[in-house]
Amino acid sequence: MKGSDALHTLPGIGPALAKKYAILGLDTLHDLADYYPRRYEDYSQVTAIDKLLPGAVSIAASIISSKGRYVRRGMHITEAVAQDATGSVRLVWFNQPYRAAALKSGHQYFISGNYELKQQRFILQNPSVELASDLPTNTARILPIYRETKGLTSRQIRLAMRNAEPYIRSVPESLPKTIVTEQKLASKQQALAYLHFPESAEDLETARRRLGFEEVFCLSLASLLNKQENRTETALQIAFDEALAKTFVGHLPFMLTDAQRKVAWQIYKDLQKVEPMNRLVEGDVGSGKTVVAAMAAVMALAQGWQVALMAPTELLARQHAETIYKLLDPIGYASTVGLLVGSLNQAKKTKARSAIASGDIRFMIGTQALIQETVDMQKLALIIIDEQHRFGVDQRKTLMAKAGHMPHVLSLTATPIPRTLALTLYGELDVSVLDQKPGGRMPIITEIHSPNSRKQLYEKIEAELVEGRQMFVVCPLITDSTMLEANSAEKVYEQLRKKDFKHRRVGLLHGKLKPEEKQAVMEQFVKHDFDILVSTTVIEVGVDVPNASIMLVESSERFGLAQLHQLRGRVGRGKDQGYCYLMLTDSKPVSRRLRALESSNDGFKLAELDLQLRGPGAIYGTSQHGALDLRIAKLSDVKLISSARQAAQELIDSGVNLVQYTELMITVTRLRAITNLN
């Protein structure tokens, strides 16, 4: 058996079943061995029948009777009785007519299933049964549960794993042998065997440590190699004009925070180098990232070069364009700013294009698609990416591949991963943190409410609305369907408009609206044509309405911690006290996640906590980057991460030719393509 063997070479897998495996992305034995269980159920304890307790159980017993019958059309029942030295128990299967004939008296079986009360009797319903003389696959062991698809169950996948066991136990080592020894790791084959056929919790721990190490090691290696390569590229050197910087800062309507000053200075130093900058600025919502980005842009504009700012949504692009226009106006650079979004009419687009061609517009702000086709890569010196995790990796890469030189890249994000972790996982990025918020803002008051207290809450809110404040109401994404999502927001909208706040002006914003409609609604809200704006999560990132001081999140338990923190950042941006009300769907106990939000306003602390509460990690927290997510390693496992990171650095420093590690290089090459921000 070898890794490249197709799955249909395994017994029991024909062309039809092979297709189902293909749906799960499994074509070869290698793929199968690499298919990690999602979780486990422990059926390893074999219990005497008279000692059975409700729940997941295994027994060793013989079958003393079995018969099948149709109770009605389309409903077949097999009933059997299993017996050991201590007693007997009834087994019941639904719609598995082959069962009765397969159960032979006189044989010893392992039987695993859920021991449960059905019509006043304890039975085992739809249990797995295997001859005790065979190697257990679906009974009497710790059972791996795999991601399934229609017509392909974990039971079947476990059987395939059993049949592929000789291969799994002979998988070649993928890490350099010295590292396996030094780090006291299990071999690859041992780890995979433990993962698919664990006999104890220790086995699983050993497997996880080895495979988790390898994951982080590969990711670190990929980003370090990217950084190495990045160093050899050339960028346009952007000179630092101190007088210009001073003039810009002098015209701001506020004092920069020390953190903003420090980060801007780091960026200025990067921009002067011929080596392309690749810097991530992490800053909590409201920490003032836009000004810092503008400070960087000004230097490039002063040299006559182009700057592109890409935002994840049109709404945000428009708002950025407006903000930046205002920031650059006092120093005479406002006319260089151009907005490039899909919903501009043809005339405006044409005008923008010719202004870009003539060099009048040099600071392009928009969503990525339009920027991509309009920038003159020869003149593009700096790319600013707002909320970088929202951009498709491919889009980023195509944009950057066009130039003869490499643009400097500045990424801004408000959903931070802790700095130490960022450094470890993204060795290719330099990370700056805006760890300070502009002064004079009161912390937002956050409260969790259950529907029981809705009436009192609305009275409190009304008291604020009377004072002239405004409120966002955010409804959750119920399914992936924009249709249903819109419906849920629409329902809340109707309820508020016709009943609870019928004397108020209520607006509605959801993903089904066209960009220009969204923009229009948003503008109305900014102008205070609405007191209340009901929306789906389209307002999540960046939208600035200083007079909106209240955020009410419906069914808040459905949101992630980071997302709620982002939403909360939409209020308390003006001079008034901000409030964030987290409404629950019902009065079930409140989760630790929500409690954490109530007690902390610090995005970094919340990010740390989020990591601890989560299992293996979604690195960017969004599914579109699934390819980068860790399957095994926990992002909160600092020790594992730093030792893997260090080992990767040492391997590179040792100067060995990495090509000899074929398996490793295949993985690393794939990861490099994903993580490369250049």
Query: CA angle 473-474-478, nearest 5°?
Result: 140
Query: Identity (one letter) of the amino acid at 146?
Result: Y
Q: Which residues contact 444 (CB under 8 A, 6 or more apart)?
A: 568, 571, 572, 578, 579, 580, 601
Per-residue DSSP letter, 105: T
Q: Which does 518 bind (CB under 5 to 8 A by kind): Mg ion, ligand ADP, none?
A: none
DSSP state of 634: B
Task: Tell me the per-residue interface mask from 437 to 456 with Mg ion, x by CB under 5 A, - otherwise.
Answer: --------------------
Q: How many CB atoms lie within 10 A of CB 182?
A: 12
DSSP per-residue letters across 588-618: SPPPHHHHHHHH---HHHHHHHHHHHSSB--
What's the rounded Cα separation, in Å, for the pair 409 and 381?
A: 9
Nearest distance in Å: CB 282, ligand ADP: 10
**Minimum distance of ligand ADP from residue 251's CB (angstroms):** 13
User: Which residue minimizes CB distance to ligand ADP?
Assistant: 288
CA atoms within 13 Å, Cβ hemisphere of 243? 1
In the list ligand ADP, Mg ion, none, the entry touching 288 (Cβ below 5 to 8 angstroms by class) is ligand ADP
Please, what is the minimum distance in Å from the beta carbon of residue 263 to ligand ADP? 11
b/e map of 592-617 (b: 16 or more CB within 10 Å)? ebbebbeeebebbebbbbbbeebebb
The answer to the question of residue 285 lying near ligand ADP (CB under 6 A) is yes
For residues 145 and 138, what is the distance between their CA atoms, to the nearest angstrom?
Answer: 10
d(CA 362, CA 379): 9
* Minimum separation from the CB atom of position 367 to ligand ADP (A): 17
Q: What is the dihedral of CA 8, 12, 16, 21, to 10 degrees?
A: -60
Per-residue interface string for the shown chain with ligand ADP, residues 555-594, x marking contact by CB under 6 A: ------------------x---------------------
Site for ligand ADP in 525-554 (CB under 6 A): 544
The 57-86 site mask, x for binding ligand ADP (CB under 6 A), equals ------------------------------
Q: How far apart are the first and last CA of the chain?
A: 40
Under rule CB under 6 A, residue 288 binds ligand ADP: yes
Residues 570, 564: Cα–Cα separation, whole Å: 10
Which of ligand ADP, Mg ion, none does 206 bind, CB closer than 5 to 8 A by kind? none
Of 209 and 320, nearer to Mg ion (C-beta) is 320
Neighbouring C-beta atoms of residue 279, cutoff 10 Å: 21
Measured from the CB of residue 41, what is the shortest distance to ligand ADP in angstroms? Answer: 44
Closest approach of Cβ 261 to ligand ADP, in Å?
9
| Part of the chain binding ligand ADP (CB under 6 A), chosen from 129-137, 278-286, 642-650, 652-660 | 278-286
Q: Shortest gap between Cβ of 288 and Mg ion (angstroms)? A: 9
Residue with tokens 């389209």, as numbered in its chain: 538
434: left (phi over 0), alpha (psi -120 to 50) or beta: beta
Residue-wise burial string across 200-216, b where 16 or more C-beta atoms lie within 10 A, e elsewhere: eeebbebbbbbbbbbbb
Q: Which amino acid is at 32?
A: L
Size of the site for ligand ADP (CB under 6 A): 17
CB-based contact 168:189 (threshold 8 Å): yes
Taking the least distance from each CB to Mg ion, the nearer of 127 and 286 is: 286
Task: Check if the beta carbon of residue 597 is closer than 8 Å to that of residue 582.
Answer: yes
What Rg do the C-alpha atoms of the chain give, in angstroms?
Answer: 30
Q: Which stretch binds ligand ADP (CB under 6 A): 138-146, 153-161, 280-288, 373-381?
A: 280-288
- Tokens for 270, please give them: 């990067």
Q: How far is the CB of 597 from ligand ADP (least distance, A)?
A: 17
551 contacts: CB under 8 Å, gap ≥ 6: 471, 472, 474, 567, 568, 570, 571, 578, 579, 580, 581
**Of 174, 260, 566, 678, which lies in the binding site for ligand ADP, with binding defined by CB under 6 A?**
260
- HSE at residue 38, side-chain half, CA atoms within 13 A, is 7
Residue number with CB closer to ligand ADP (138 or 257): 257
Return d(Cα 369, Cα 216) in angstroms, integer: 32
**Count of residues for the chain?**
678
Shortest separation between residue 260's beta carbon and ligand ADP, angstroms? 6
Asked if residue 127 binds Mg ion (CB under 5 A), the reply is: no
H/E stretch holding 168: helix 165-168
Q: Which does 656 bind (CB under 5 to 8 A by kind): ligand ADP, Mg ion, none?
A: none
Q: Is 416 in the site for ligand ADP (CB under 6 A)?
A: no
The one segment of 227-235, 279-287, 305-313, 557-565 that binds ligand ADP by CB under 6 A:
279-287
Q: Which of 154, 206, 278, 290 binds ligand ADP (CB under 6 A)?
A: 290
Please identify, using beta-carbon distances, which residue of 98 and 254 lies nearer to ligand ADP: 254
- Fill in the per-residue mask, 314 to 353: x = in contact with ligand ADP (CB under 6 A), - = not in contact: ----------------------------------------
Sign of torsion over alpha carbons 612, 615, 619, 624: negative
Q: How far is the CB of 567 from Mg ion (least distance, A)?
A: 14
Count Cβ atoms below 10 Å from residue 486 Cβ, excluding itself. Answer: 20
Nearer to Mg ion, 215 or 284 (CB): 284
Which does residue 256 touch among Mg ion, ligand ADP, none (CB within 5 to 8 A, set by kind)? ligand ADP
Q: Is residue 479 a contact partner of residue 469, using CB atoms and an 8 Å limit?
A: no
Residue among 542 and 621 whose Cβ is closer to Mg ion = 542
Q: Are strands 39-42 and 142-145 parallel, antiparallel or unpaired?
A: antiparallel
In the range 196-255, which residues lie near ligand ADP by CB under 6 A?
Answer: 254-255
Which of Mg ion, ligand ADP, none lies near 424, with the C-beta cut-off 5 to 8 A by kind?
Answer: none
The dihedral through the CA atoms of 416, 422, 423, 429 has a sign that is negative
> Among residues 128, 138, 287, 535, which is the contact residue for ligand ADP, using CB under 6 A?
287
Residue 308 vs 671, nearer CB to ligand ADP: 308
Pairing type for strands 408-413 and 278-283 reads parallel
CA distance 533 to 507: 5
Site size for Mg ion, by CB under 5 A? Answer: 1
98 binds ligand ADP per the rule CB under 6 A:
no
Pick one of Mg ion, ligand ADP, none as the site partner of residue 283 (Cβ within 5 to 8 A by kind).
ligand ADP
Q: Which does 127 bind (CB under 5 to 8 A by kind): ligand ADP, Mg ion, none?
A: none
Binding to ligand ADP (CB under 6 A) within 591-650 occurs at none
Question: Does 542 help bind Mg ion (rule: CB under 5 A)?
Answer: yes
Shorter beta-carbon distance to Mg ion: residue 507 or 542: 542
φ/ψ of 69, rounded to 5, equals: -160, 155
Contact string 434-473 vs ligand ADP (x = CB under 6 A): ----x-----------------------------------
Residue 290: CB minimum distance to Mg ion, A: 5
Phi and psi based region of residue 342 (left: phi greater than 0; alpha: psi -120 to 50; beta: remaining): alpha
Q: In this chain, which of 256, 334, 520, 562 binds ligand ADP, going by CB under 6 A? A: 256
Which residues of this chain interact with Mg ion, rule CB under 5 A?
A: 542
Which residues of this chain interact with ligand ADP, rule CB under 6 A?
A: 254-257, 260, 283, 285-291, 414, 438, 544, 573
